[in-house]
Every structure is written in structure tokens, then in C-alpha cells.
Chain A
Amino acid sequence: MSFEPKIVAFLCNWCAYSGADLAGVSRLQYPPNMIPIRVMCSGRVDPQFVLEAFKNGADGVFIGGCHTPGDCHYVVGNFKAFKRVVLLKKMLEQFGIEPERVRIEWVSASEGKKFAEVTKEFVEQVRALGPLNYVKREKA
């Protein structure tokens, strides 16, 4: 059986989650590998959540927020999220996890098409990277 990546997505309520809803209303098809978790703001995403996802078998983590600058419902939460992801990627590299397994994207409430496209792209990106098997890697 071919490898089906498991991806956890943190989507901000105002932009990315609404964009995902619009993709649904527009019946845009994309792969079902991503399980979304709705957060009010991408700024809520603690880097620990990403690590926890990898620890529990995720092959990739997606964070969706509002466009910068200015679209964030909470003014600057998206910037905070972005800064944290930049640092987190450096740390992941030191753990031996490919930083490409984490992706942060800005998707507005009117960008259903973008949501579907980015999801497709990310699923393929993680598929190309192969399974993470973090727990196995750690033991090896």
C-alpha cells in the first residue's frame, strides 16, 4: 500500500477555517489526509502543539492564518505565529526532522481555491518526504 501522510492542521477561525469552508461550499476536491483543528487565531498555536503532533505520528503539520499584514482579526496574531514557526523550523532541523514538514500559509476567507491548492501541494510535499516515524527514529 502506498504511503498516506497524516497531517494535522491548525486553522484560524476567521480566515483559513472560513477559506476551508468556502472550498467545501465550492465543492473543490482535495486529499483527505489533513485533519483540521479550529483555533481562534494562528497566534494560539504553541510550538509544543507541533512537536506533540510529530510525537503522536503526524508526518506533517499545517498552520493556516490570515494574510499579513493587516488581515488578522486579532491585529498581529499571524505575525507571532510566523515568528514562532521560523524558530521552530531551526529547532526541528536539530532534531533531525525536515523543516518542510511544517508549513504556515495565509489563506483568507475568500480563498477557498487557495486552501484546496495548498492542501494538495502540502500533502504531496509530505508524501515525497516519506513517513516521519519519529518514535522509531529516536530509538534507532
Chain B
Amino acid sequence: MSDPIIKIENMNKWFGDFQVLKDINLSVEKNKKIVVCGPSGSGKSTLIRCVNRLEEHQKGSIIVDGTELNENTKNIEQVRAEVGMVFQQFNLFPHLSILDNCTLAPIWVKKMPKKDAEELAMNQLKQVQIDDQSNKFPGQLSGGQQQRCAIARALCMQPKIMLFDEPTSALDPEMIKEVLDAMVNLAKQGMTMIVVTHEMGFAKEVADEVIFMDEGMIVERANTKDFFANPKNDRTKLFLSQIL
């Protein structure tokens, strides 16, 4: 068994007086795909936002690829450069073209020459099939195209881990498939992924393990088959019966 690439131990987080995450223990090995599900407000998003420290945790430790996340800004930036993230609301930069969205971080964070960055970006855009839109601005694209661009943008940093925060929740139903296809593709290439989603079909197809969260705790963690076939916890059963 190889060393886990993400290791979270006894992590606790509060928003003011409200405890969002309680004693989270989670380790993720390289190349594993993990789907996190649970009712809204259960802390799923907060959990993965903690992995690249968009949210600070107050207790416990998070170690990503050997780097501990703490007050040290240098550590944080290093981790963030290795961890790509895709958001529910796409969060593309509206003032930059699709191509510039993808090349911005490689050029300025990784100090990649502009030409190489553009080549890389075009490759990634081709993977998600929007290379023909590279000169347009985000506002001119459909939601599905924007989300695929966001995936390409994250991949341009050549991350070791990809985090997806409900990537299909803000999309029109007919666009969900194109984004999921891009994610399935990525999974097949062996990327380490943590995906917060309600798309159970995607979970069944891609995930190695599924985590069910409720009220800030990891209620159940099982490999995909077991999770859907015979969930152990009552709350998991209830949740699954409601969404399947």
C-alpha cells in the first residue's frame, strides 16, 4: 500500500460557534477517485475546500503530498499549485479570453514560457472539446462549455489532484452529460480525484470509493459496489432511498 497523497487527521472546523466539520479522518491514495455525497449543509464542500485551504481548519492536520497545510503561505501556494479545483459556478475570469484563462496561472505561477503555456492550454482545451472557442470570452459560452473550460484551466497547472465541488449542479440538464464525460475521461487517465456530486450514475461508473457525510461527519466510507449494494448506516440508506 503506497503512501496516501492526502492525509487528514482529526480535522475540525468551525464557522464562528457552529462546528461544520467534526473529527474528520481521511486518507486518499494516489490515482484513487473518491465521490463525496450527502445532504446539503453536511460539510462536503467545506471539506474539499479545506484540502487546498480555501477554508482554514482550526484543529487537526491536513497533509497534501507531503506538505502540511498551516500558516505558512509558501506551503499553501505550493499545495494549491498541485491541486486543481473546479467550482459549482465555474468562476472563469470574465475579463480574459478562454485561452488566457487557461494560460494565466501556468505563465505567472509556474513561470512557463508563453508559447509552451499556449500549446499546453490548446491541448487541454482539445481534450474537453472546446479548442475552437479559445478566442471567445467566458460570457459568450454556454454553461457546459464554461465548466469544461474551467476543468481545462485547472488541468493546465498539471495538478496531481483534482477537486470538484458540485461541478454539474449549476448546469442545465442537457449540459450535464458533456461535463461528466470530460470528468470520466480525466478519471480514465488516472487522475486522483475527489468529487462532491449528486450524480450517482457518475459515482457508480468512476468512483473507487464513496463517502457519505452528514452533519459534518463522515458517516460511511465504502467501496462503490458495497456502498450502493448494502449500505450499513441507516442515514446512508435513507439518503440513498431518496435520491436513487
Decide whether A and B assemble into one complex: no
Q: Which residues of B contact A (CB under 8 A)?
A: none
A residues neighboring B (CB under 8 Å):
none
